[in-house]
């Protein structure tokens, strides 16, 4: 069954209605609705995975948190972890497969 079953279909329907309730003047084609719905889902997942990664960086001491005016928090690299951070980034780059280069045919 498309859409992840009956429960998935109902959740998608609720997502569409929720968006249209928040934006009552909105009108779009099927493709347009599908596109913004997919983009919102990607953004939601991206925010959640970014938050998870930042919490890991904070727990490992790579990031420090600072409260600023208005109750907001900013994050910065913990200076004492700079070398370790550089090693971690280099290690990740070594594990990635090499990118294929396109050469111009001439």
User: For position 22, what pLDDT does the model report?
Assistant: 87
Cβ–Cβ under 8 Å, residues 64 and 78? yes
- Pair of tokens at residue 66: 């600072």
CB atoms within 10 A of CB 63: 19
pTM for the model: 0.59
- Pair of tokens at residue 73: 């928090």
User: For position 3, what pLDDT does the model report?
Assistant: 47
Q: Which residues pair with 74 in a beta bridge?
A: 66
Low-confidence ranges of the chain (pLDDT < 70): 1-5, 95-106
Q: Give me the residue spans of the domains in the chain.
A: 5-95
User: For position 99, what pLDDT does the model report?
Assistant: 58
């Amino acid at each position: 069954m498309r859409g992840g079953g009956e429960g998935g279909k109902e959740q998608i329907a609720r997502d569409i209605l929720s968006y249209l309730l928040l934006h009552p003047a909105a009108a779009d084609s099927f493709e347009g609705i599908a596109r913004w719905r997919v983009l919102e889902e990607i953004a939601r997942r991206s925010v959640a995975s970014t938050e998870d990664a930042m919490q890991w960086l904070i727990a490992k001491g790579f990031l420090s948190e600072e409260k600023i005016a208005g109750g907001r928090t900013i994050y910065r690299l913990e200076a004492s972890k700079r070398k370790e951070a550089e090693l971690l980034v280099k290690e990740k780059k070594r594990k990635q497969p090499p990118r294929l280069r396109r050469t111009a045919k001439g």
